[in-house]
Amino acid sequence: MTSLTELIPAPSSVATPGGQGFVLDQATEIQAARGTWRVAHWLRTTVGAATGLPLWPHSSSENHILLRIWPPLADELGGPEAYRLTASGGTVVIDAASEAGLFHGAQTFRQLLGPDVFRRAPVTSKRAWEVPAVTIRDAPRFRWRGFMLDVARHFMPKDGVLRHLDLMAAHKLNVFHFHLTDDQGWRIEIKRYPRLTEVGSWRARTKFGHRASPLWEDKPHGGYYTQDDIREIVAYAAERHITVVPEIDVPGHSQAAIAAYPELGNTDVIDTASLSVWDNWGISLNVLAPTDNTLRFYEGVFEELLELFPSEFIHVGGDECAKEQWRQSPTAQARIRELGLADEDELQSWFIGHFDKWLSARGRRLIGWDEILEGGLAEGAAVSSWRGYQGGIAAARAGHDVVMCPEQQVYLDHRQHAGADEPVPIGYVRTLEDVFRFEPVPPELTPEEARHVLGTQANVWTEVMEDRARVDYQTFPRLAAFAEVAWSRLPAPAERDFADFERRMAAHYRRLDALGVAYRPPAGPLPWQQRPGVLGRPIDGPPPNR
Ligand code: ACM
């Protein structure tokens, strides 16, 4: 049994009326009302697997878990993802405004049963699974509670992605931003352009550590998701009430695509046919040519993407597009003149604006990194504010929706301790407490402007994370603090009770242990987690150093 005060993220309210609670045992049934069978199935495959109990789908026993959807609860409890969980008199009732709310309630129920219930197989026979008498009312603060994973710099095979979706769900996160393409790799099968994966998904070698490091991993690295893999990932996410927002990064961060199809690059500036998928970190100067051919090519890519991803938002990147080649390219300069544009920044706006209109015409919405503000923000576009709060503030003031993910706060590739034994320490020191005290809505915004902050997102860039264990180390435990920021209605940063959060984390580490998460232990990395000799480059202030 977990104490009622050990939940993460913290719920809106917990009332303890006393009296009889609930005991999960051989007799327990799941009574699934209309529209709740998927949540019942999830409970059976998780709680059922960990306890070895049958969780019968009948409705005769007093000992039952009753699942119900009741939309008016949205008004009573604070939004469409709200739920109310009551354990009393030997039963558990989870009422929710929607299936998503019910799923969040089921996640809370799992936490209440204790850390062993996070295992995949029963390890302890003959034990009691108890929940004390309680009523929990809960609803999220933000509707976009995001996690971004960069699978371009280091590929993560599909089972690792599915595992992250489970980990997101356990933390009540609901948007998976899937960074699928970059200079160092193209990770999604596009049927009409097979070379994107045949050529673009592999690189010959990889810089090991920060880009200033002299070390190389001299072996090919790569991989990609077939369209069937993607369909499976999207469906698995949907069962967990997670929306997958795919990112195809244009017009910068495109060297892998140019290596596959050299005509996409600025052929009048460099010999793009000699380019290969990039083996180093940083910002490649090889960007897309602003030609009709490029637009048509990417329309083809996005057409296949829309077939695979039902999300309202489609991420088009737009970050860190080096303008050197456009400045030198007669073709790009002619386009600037022909369109009556002032400069290369406006050329980037035109490029992004094209896909904004293209996506809008197909009932979708464009989202991009905050550089898409430069040279004019495309109408209807939303912004991922990563270079601090300023882009998000400007966008919200202009009436655009914003996801706050400032690199100074929620880039989880940045080291989480100043100690010398942090593995490949890059970026700012951002501790668990720093993330816990992150506030997504800057005080400069009026309440009206703040309504444009859809939510917040933690971003995991994987240049220095070559495998799952490294991703786990950087992501956890900080993602737990981030989840609390995104879900719970916390006081102002300085007033947040970090001591209480740490106390709850003691229970949460046991949940993560049961889930097999290789988090950073509070006392520092374990010997096998250290990477002595691999160069990172810590910084104490801007600019970012990846
Ligand atoms: C980014 O970190 N370049 C979005």
Q: What percent of the chain has pLDDT over 70?
A: 97
pLDDT at residue number 245: 99
User: 290-329 in b/e burial notation, b at 16+ Cβ within 10 A?
Assistant: bbeebbebbeebbebbbebbebebbbbbbbbbbbebbeeb
- Strand ranges in 56-164 using DSSP code E only, listed in sequence order: 64-69, 83-88, 91-96, 129-131, 134-138, 144-150
Q: Kindly give the distance from the C-alpha atom of residue 319 to the centroid of ligand 1, in angstroms, as a whole number.
A: 6
**Residue 228 token pair:** 């069937």
Domains of the chain from N-terminus onward? 13-138 (3.30.379.10), 144-496+503-536 (3.20.20.80)
Q: What is the dihedral of CA 179, 185, 188, 193, to 10 degrees?
A: 130
320 lines ligand 1 (CB under 6 A): yes
Q: Would the pLDDT of 72 be above 80?
A: yes
Q: Kindly give the distance from the C-alpha atom of residue 441 to the centroid of ligand 1, in angstroms, as a whole number.
A: 20
Q: Please, what is the average pLDDT of the chain?
A: 94
pLDDT tens digits, 468-521: 999 999 999 999 999 999 999 999 999 999 999 999 999 999 999 999 999 999
Phi, psi at 259, each rounded to 5°: -60, -35
pLDDT tens digits, 432-473: 999 999 999 999 999 999 999 999 999 999 999 999 999 999
**Residue 277 token pair:** 């998928």
**Distance between CA atoms of residues 422 and 531, nearest Å:** 8
Closest CA to 290 of 321, 248, 256: 321
444 catalytic, yes or no? no
| Best probe residue, ligand 1, of 386, 411, 457 (max atoms within 8 Å of C-beta) | 386
320 catalytic, yes or no? yes
Q: Would the pLDDT of 1 be above 60?
A: no
Closest CA to 146 of 440, 403, 521: 403
User: How many other C-beta atoms lie within 10 A of the C-beta of residue 228?
Assistant: 11
324 catalytic, yes or no? no
What does the DSSP 8-state code read for residue 398? T
Q: Would the pLDDT of 544 be above 50?
A: no
pLDDT tens digits, 381-434: 899 999 999 999 999 999 999 999 999 999 999 999 998 899 988 888 999 999
Residues 139 and 31 sit within 8 Å (Cβ to Cβ)? no
302 lines ligand 1 (CB under 6 A): no
Residues 426 and 413 sit within 8 Å (Cβ to Cβ)? yes
Task: With 0.75 as the threshold, say if the pTM is over it.
Answer: yes
**Distance between CA atoms of residues 47 and 508, nearest Å:** 17
Residues 365 and 381 sit within 8 Å (Cβ to Cβ)? yes
Identify the band that residue 96 occupies on the pLDDT scale cut at 50, 70 and 90.
very high
**Distance between CA atoms of residues 94 and 296, nearest Å:** 49
User: 116-125 in b/e burial notation, b at 16+ Cβ within 10 A?
Assistant: bbbbeeeeee
**Atom 1 of ligand 1, nearest CA residue:** 319
**396 strand-pairing partners:** none
Q: Would the pLDDT of 3 be above 80?
A: no
Closest CA to 56 of 125, 69, 65, 110: 65
| Best probe residue, ligand 1, of 250, 369, 462 (max atoms within 8 Å of C-beta) | 369
Q: What percent of the chain has pLDDT over 90?
A: 89
Identify the band that residue 375 occupies on the pLDDT scale cut at 50, 70 and 90.
confident
Average pLDDT over residues 79-102: 97
Identify the band that residue 58 occupies on the pLDDT scale cut at 50, 70 and 90.
confident
**Distance between CA atoms of residues 241 and 243, nearest Å:** 7
**Residue 422 token pair:** 């942090």
Closest CA to 371 of 408, 444, 317, 413: 317
